[in-house]
Structure 1
Amino acid sequence: MKSARRLIGNVSWVALAIALILALVACGDAANDAPQSAQASPPPSAASEQVPTPTIAPSLTAIVAPSTITTPTATAAAQGTSGTSTGATATIDANADAERLSETAMPLLTQFVADYSPRQSGTAGELAAAEFIRAYMEDLGYEAKLQRLEVEHIPWDEPFVTLAGEGRPDFFSIPLANTGYGDVTAPVVHVGRAFEEDIPDEGLEGVIALVERGEITFEEKVNRVADAGAVAAIIYNNERQNFRGALQSDGRIPAVSLPREQGRELLRLLDDEPGLQARVKVEPVKLDSQNVIAELDDQPADCGVVVLGGHYDSVANTQAAGDNGTGVVSLLLMAGELARANDGEEPLPYAVRFLFFGVEEIGIYGSEHYVDALNEAEKAEIIAMLNFDAMGQGDASIQGSAQLADIATSVATDAGISLNRVQTTRGFGSDHAPFINAGIPALFFFGNDFSIINSPDDVLEEVDPSIMGAHMVVALEMLQEFECKPQE
């Protein structure tokens, strides 16, 4: 292993410096703190099978109290508490470093969630968090900018399927990917699995088609009923749970899914009341958001770039301490270490870019936008992408490209750090996914307990800081293993 302790050797002193600064700021602002009400709009109630499902929760008030975060500059933070040069040592114990990093992270995390929670996707709260991150990175010596984006999003704050009449049940429906949009009220007609022989001779003009899942694709089912004149399609599952299906091309009519039992309940209601009216509403809203992009201006320009990233937005009604305050704070602390290493005798032979993504919670839109905006040469220069998300609970875990997982496992073993490697062909709904889809090696650092993310229970008291410490040590050591990737 190369001089893997060089970056980490500075951390222990920097940890004390930042912690001291934040403690003094917190004391100075305590008298001016006032309760802040949380936003009342509920988060999504369901999502893709590959993404942990946000939990609908009642509105909370006084979740956090605002205060002021002091951003340490690269110069100030580079000194230990005695004011002497920190220096690097080859005998630093990685587990001790992980512990110190964990202790450093918590004061910063405490202040971040106090001032910037919730930071719901596409809101003023999200923008305020982005501006803080940009200012923090600039104070560390980075050139930081906001990358603006507009997303079209289907809100989950009301049911997509409702029945006419009082006392009717609400249905847990999920829009299919690439669904058409619309708000229609019409009679419901059952058409089996939407084979050709299931379509009545008179067609389906002006009705909502109720379709059972199975045997043919969603695309075939939806197109067939649309061709017959249906104004919407409800596809109920042939298994107990609900599902997030996808159309291969843009749909012409709204198309949503139901769990099996709710589909059968709707069938029973149709037997009792032929011509039962339902409303299917799938209409998008446009949201403004932004990514934060930060780089040092004196890095190597022709040896490729390693990207470190994570999202900073949240759902409503939560501190979002674990998801993803932990990722934000870890990235900020690592950015400080890399800024100081870049000024040292042995800077990294390649560039490092920090990315903080918006609108992740409603569809990883920020990272998708970033990757989509890259040309082929810009994609080719990326050596690796390391993603930090939801590191609050469980075991320190990784998942992603095999070659990066091998490096992470190796350096963790050498450092005496326990790291859980998740080997699966299924993806996880986080910001490394668009990079992998673009052919860029990427690795996801997370805690493997998702039980309280996206809920009011995701608070500081539930965060296990050792996960952040372990992941930061492993990531900093990994950076010593990457080599120059010459650019053509």
Structure 2
Amino acid sequence: MSHRRALALGALTASLCLPSTAFGIDEVNSKKLRDAVTVNGILQHERAFQGIANANGGTRASGTPGYDASVAYAKQRLQKAGYKVTEQSFDFAFFRELGPASLSQVSPTAKDYETETFEYSGSGTVTAKLQEVKDNLVPPTPEPSSTAGCEAADFAGFTTGNVALIQRGGCDFGVKVDNAAAAGAKAVIIFNEGQPGRTGLMAGTLGAPKTLPTVGLTYDDGSALALQLRGGADVTVEVTTSTESETRQTKNLLADTKAGNADQTVVVGAHLDSVIEGPGINDNGSGSATILEIAEAMSEQKVKPRRAVRFAFWGAEESGLLGSEHYVTTLPAEKLTQIYANLNFDMVGSPNYVRFVYDGDGSDTPVAGPPGSGEIESVFTRYFAGQGLASEPTEFSGRSDYGPFIAVGIPAGGLFTGAEGIKTPEQAAIFGGTAGLAYDPCYHQACDTMNNLNVNALNEMSDAAAHATLTLATSKTGLFPDGSRKAARDKSKAKRFDGNHASD
């Protein structure tokens, strides 16, 4: 799950209640498929992903051999199951920190600072004089108002070869660094702005690979350096970063059923990549293994879908949903209109889990999905209710690969068992687990291994995912009231009547 998108969980309305929708998809008996989708099968795929990570530096991140091996594994399984498999390659901005950053004042007073590397920072060691740019506001205003470094004019009089000291605020960090590079800076220090909530150690993303080493500082440390300079001190600093930051190629893996109406394709997706820091066995080996198991089970059961199903394994989700965004934005208009719905499964095995369902109709959270999303939500909640299991709505927060689909009006839905959010006492009473702890304490860490999975979560969520996939693929009624077979027949009769009338 991408860490770049803010998470805002919906209202805590966990219950067995069904969301109100004006139209319901007809029930589909999914028992045979659910019986064929097993936890053992999912864990088989997860063990393969773990082995791949172990053999490739502990990661399966896009742009690394571990990701390429994950693609090869899923591709081989899907081809063996009889799917038409294609790869969709694209370039993306790859970043990896090879070692921690360091920042120290060399003179007039030796001092080491706590610091962090900005994502997409350049790499190297720079020892040079420190220089403020214009519009650093020390002390800060009551409300955020700094625009330091946002314009080339902020670097008027800047001495080539110096290290730029820039306050947060007013524009993207990447803009500040680009302006610093154009002014001849050799490294950049960005310190926090100083208002409540904007005082701690500064870190962030530069948006794309940069050449200048770029590190962060707290407001207190940054403002102290600024005051030193304003007092006439000649300050020399040493900045060190160790990074890889470059454009690399990665890919999406797409597997299509041979049967089904391609004009109403159901895209069932999960991101295949991990973060650099770990193997990503829950995030998102769990989602990838689940849809891979569903795809194989559908083939084994010889399911003949009414609508075509495309299983999509997205690349570079952890870099900002780049795989799904590339897929959606590069589809020709006529192909885009053929996408019937998107199902998204990102983290479905969290150890301290909640059965979260995306709130398609927006009845419990601030953001509703496009029309049809409420009906997809109902498929999940009705299923859980029928199993005697509670579920809880979670909003479309933009943190996963459904984002590009709902941005162009495609109905979407899916499941989630929780990331770094903290389980409440109310949730613990309903779903079990431990209140006060994260849903996934190993989120985006090296400990996201096979030991980080809850098999009960995998069992319950994979059955729900299989049920929803089969329902959207085979239901006679569609997401909307005019989607049934009967309505289609009535429409056909009306056309014939109109034609006969015209010939009278």
What's the TM-score once normalised by structure 2's chain length?
Answer: 0.64
1:465, CA displacement in angstroms? 2.4
Distance 1:216 1:478, change over 3 A: closer
**Partner amino acid, structure 1, of 2:299:** A
Residue 89 of structure 2 corresponds to: 148
Q: Deviations over 1:134-173 (max 9, x none)?
A: 1111122111133233433232223566447587335113
| Alignment correspondent of 1:284 | 245
| Same amino acid, percent of matched pairs | 25
2 CA distance for matches of 1:318 and 1:230? 34
Q: Secondary structure at the match of 2:416?
A: strand
Asked if structure 1 preserves the Cα contact closer than 8 Å seen for 2:286 and 2:349, the reply is yes
Counterparts of 1:151-170 in structure 2 under 5 Å?
A: 151-159=92-100, 162-163=103-104, 165=106, 168-169=112-113
Q: Does 1:131 align with 2:101?
A: no
Matched, 1:434 2:374: no
Q: Is 1:446 the equivalent of 2:416?
A: yes
User: Distance in 2 between the 1:152 and 1:197 partners?
Assistant: 25
In the alignment, what sits opposite 1:359? 316
Return the letter of the residue paired with 1:295: D
Sort the Cα spacing of 1:172 and 1:400 in 2 relative to 1 into closer, same or farther, 3 A.
farther
Residue 412 of structure 1 is aligned with which of 358, 380, 384? 380
Residues 236, 422 of structure 1: alpha-carbon distance in 2 compared, 3 angstrom cutoff: same
Instruction: Find the counterpart in structure 2 of residue 321 from structure 1.
Output: 281
Deviation at 1:412, TM superposition (A): 3.4
State how 1:162-311 maps to structure 2 within 5 Å: 162-163=103-104, 165=106, 168-169=112-113, 171-175=115-119, 186-191=128-133, 192-193=136-137, 194=148, 202-214=157-169, 230=185, 232-238=187-193, 239-242=198-201, 257-264=216-223, 266-267=225-226, 274-279=234-239, 284-301=245-262, 303-311=263-271
Where structure 2 has 5 or more consecutive residues not aligned to the other structure, the ranges are 1-23, 138-147, 361-367, 419-438, 484-504
SS of 2:317 mapped into structure 1: coil
Using the TM superposition, give the Cα deviation of residue 295 of structure 1 relative to its aligned residue in structure 2, in angstroms: 0.5
Question: Equivalents in 2 of 1:262, 1:240: separation in Å?
Answer: 10
Matched letter for residue 33 of structure 2: N
Whether the 8 Å CA contact 2:166–2:188 is kept in 1: the answer is: yes
Of residues 324, 338, 341 in structure 1, which corresponds to 2:298?
338
**Alignment-derived partner of residue 452 in structure 2:** 462
TM-score for the superposition, normalised by structure 1: 0.66
Give the count of matched residue pairs: 392
Deviation, 1:212, is: 2.0
Return the letter of the residue paired with 1:10.
L
Cα distance, 1:409–1:309 mapped onto 2, change above 3 Å: closer
Q: Which structure 1 residue ranges, 5 or more long, are not aligned?
A: 16-100
Taking the aligned partners of 2:91 and 2:170, their CA distance within structure 1 comes to 37
Q: CA deviation at 1:452?
A: 0.6
- Give the residue type in structure 2 aligned to 1:380: T
User: Contact 1:7 / 1:338 at 8 angstroms: preserved in 2?
Assistant: no
Q: Which moved more, 1:280-289 or 1:141-150?
A: 280-289
Specify the SS of the correspondent of 1:235. strand
Q: 2 CA distance for matches of 1:116 and 1:201? A: 49
Match for residue 29 of structure 1? none
Return closer, same or farther for 1:306/1:183 CA change in 2, 3 Å cut-off.
farther
